[in-house]
Chain A
Amino acid sequence: MGEISEFSFSVRLFVKTYRWRRIDPVPWTPVTKPLSESRVAVVSSAGFVLPDQEPFDQKMKGGDPSYRLIPGDTDVSTLIDAHRSDSFDHTGMEQDPNLVFPLDRMRELVDSGRIGELASRHPSMMGSITAPGRMIKQTAPQAASNLVEDEVDVALLVPV
């Protein structure tokens, strides 16, 4: 279970004292179209990159706010774990990338008709961003604009 207690003492202290960024005001877009007719994007913060993409910067203070776009037809077994955090167990996602970036599952949902189609590009970030200022101002709006360009109807966000 995702409990504070699974972390080390120093991480627990951090979670307790960290100033979490409140989304305020909270935006809300209603769902107006059946999912069976919708184009769906996945956004994962598991830090996956493709072999020809630059890995995330493991040393950047406050966390690397950049993102990579993963094509919808990617074979998930080619994804490389570039996440720097050692505060979670990486073995599951290395064994099966669908655990955190479920492109195979989404394709199955397209095949079954549960969702309309899979988006052509899916943003991948490295989620351990303790200083999210640049992400809030630059990279998150850019990634969102990419999905708007691709006429994405709804997005599923998956943290690790």
Chain B
Amino acid sequence: MCNQTVGLIAAELERKGIPTVAIQLLRVVAEKVGPPRSLWVPFKHGYPLGEPDNPELQHKVIEAALSVLENPDLEPRAIVDHQL
């Protein structure tokens, strides 16, 4: 459900002029809900940035999300898969 919730909020932010990137844990939900920009991450629920007390990994995921924002070639409903 959390994946849908953040996707719907992302849509509202974009409608109001704020670009977004939504991390997504379930690719199938990202495909169905279709947020403007998604970064799919291969982690289990409850662990969207990878591991607790692992700032290096958390930074890698956030950097990947920021790169999605900076990618000029993406189109609406873009889903980028995060490679570990």
Contact = CB atoms under 8 A, between A and B. Distances in A.
A88 B26 CA distance: 13
A32 B27 CA distance: 28
Given A95-B52, A157-B20, A132 B5 contact: yes
A150 to B, nearest CB: 10
14 contacts: A2-B25, A2-B41, A4-B28, A22-B34, A23-B11, A27-B15, A89-B45, A92-B52, A102-B49, A102-B58, A108-B59, A148-B16, A157-B9, A157-B21
Give the interface residue-count category, chain B. Answer: 35 or more
Interface of B: 1-29, 32-36, 41-53, 55, 58-59, 62-63, 65-66, 69-70, 76-77
Interface string A119-160: 000010101111010011000110111011000111111111
A66 interface: no
B58 A26 contact: no
Given A102-B49, A105-B62, A157 B1 contact: no
Nearest to B41: A2
A153 B18 CA distance: 6
B62 A155 contact: no
A20 interface: yes
Contacts of A9: none
Nearest to B71: A31
A96 B55 CA distance: 10
A28 B21 CA distance: 11
Contact of B47 (A4, A15, A92, A104): A92
Contacts of B3: 127, 159
A31 B51 CA distance: 29
A35 B66 contact: yes
Contacts of B19: 29-31, 153-155
Contacts of A110: none
Residue among A22, A98, A135, A156 facing the most chain B CB atoms (10 A cut-off): A156
Given A1-B42, A99-B51, 14 more contacts: A4-B28, A15-B26, A20-B29, A20-B32, A27-B14, A28-B36, A98-B49, A127-B2, A128-B1, A135-B9, A147-B18, A156-B65, A157-B22, A157-B35
B46 A93 contact: yes
